[in-house]
């Protein structure tokens, strides 16, 4: 297995990284909006929102921090696991990269 992503796959991942990051942030914002109308006092809702954002920030860091070729395969696998890239987008990668992603996901469908 290659240690780094293939050049052709890297060229696919670079713009797709931004798409996946935007999807993650959009989902987080939609989730955060629910706290405005949730039960409880404004302060309780604020504290709940704060905890939600902290959890989401940790998830964001796992998938998106340290953008580099050496981290790309792991990032693609994590993005696939979290459904931040579609099966069609994943299919655009080489068979080698798809196989590595599948192995990283434990053989589960990405």
The per-residue pLDDT for range 39-76, each reduced to its tens digit, is: 999 999 999 999 999 999 999 999 999 999 999 999 99
pLDDT, tens digit, for every residue of 77-96? 999 999 999 999 999 999 99
pLDDT score, position 108: 53
Where do the domains of the chain lie?
A: 7-104
3 or 44, greater pLDDT:
44
Which CA distances in Å does 58 have to 36, 53, 64, 66? 22, 9, 10, 13
pLDDT score, position 28: 98
The tokens for 110 are 């990405």
Q: 37 Cβ partners below 8 Å, 6+ apart?
A: none
| Predicted confidence (pLDDT) at residue 3 exceeds the cutoff of 90 | no
CB atoms within 10 A of CB 28: 17
Indicate the DSSP class of residue 92: T
Specify whether the CB–CB gap between 69 and 4 falls below 8 A.
yes
């Amino acid at each position: 297995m290659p240690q780094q992503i293939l050049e052709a796959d890297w060229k696919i991942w670079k713009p797709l990284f931004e798409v996946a990051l935007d999807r993650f942030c959009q989902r987080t914002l939609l989730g955060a909006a629910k706290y405005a109308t949730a039960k409880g006092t404004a302060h309780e809702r604020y504290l709940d929102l704060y905890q939600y954002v902290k959890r989401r920030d940790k998830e964001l860091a796992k998938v998106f921090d340290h953008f580099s070729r050496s981290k790309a395969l792991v990032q693609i696998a994590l993005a696939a696991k979290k459904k931040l890239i579609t099966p069609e987008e994943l299919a655009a990668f080489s068979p080698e990269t798809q196989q590595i992603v599948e192995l990283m996901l434990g053989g589960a469908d990405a």
